[in-house]
Amino acid sequence: MIRAEVRRQGGEIRYLRVRGHADAGPYGHDLVCAAVSAVVQTAILGLRELDPSAPPGEIRDGDVQWQGRTTDQGQAVLAACVIGLRDIARSHSGSLSLIEKEEF
């Protein structure tokens, strides 16, 4: 199962971690893994391009992590990523778990 965690402070996304594999199909043909990877990696790459001052995040096989602060434009990129993850989690709850937390 893929486990995704989003943490916010004051409504801003400050932490995103996605790890694991969906195991929803054979390796290389797992559409849930492919969808999650595309959404999350595009967000991290978008942050790197649109807000070079933001932490770059890490992308490794089966593990993506980003933590820090970013501009309003970066927040929009992260918010779009979370919307995509929510939709995938609704459609494939047995393959993707999404936890969202607000920290104070």
How confident is the model over 10-53, as pLDDT tens digits? 999 999 999 998 888 877 788 999 999 999 999 999 999 999 99
Q: What is the pTM of this model?
A: 0.92
Residue 75: give the domain boundaries: 2-103
**Structural domains of the chain, count:** 1
Length of the chain in terms of residues written: 104
Q: How many CB atoms lie within 10 A of CB 15?
A: 16
Closest-CA residue to 2 (of 104, 98, 69): 98
* Eight-class DSSP state of 20: S
Q: What is the CATH number of the domain that holds 19?
A: 3.30.70.1490
Tell me: the pLDDT tens digits for 64-98? Answer: 999 999 999 999 999 999 999 999 999 999 999 99
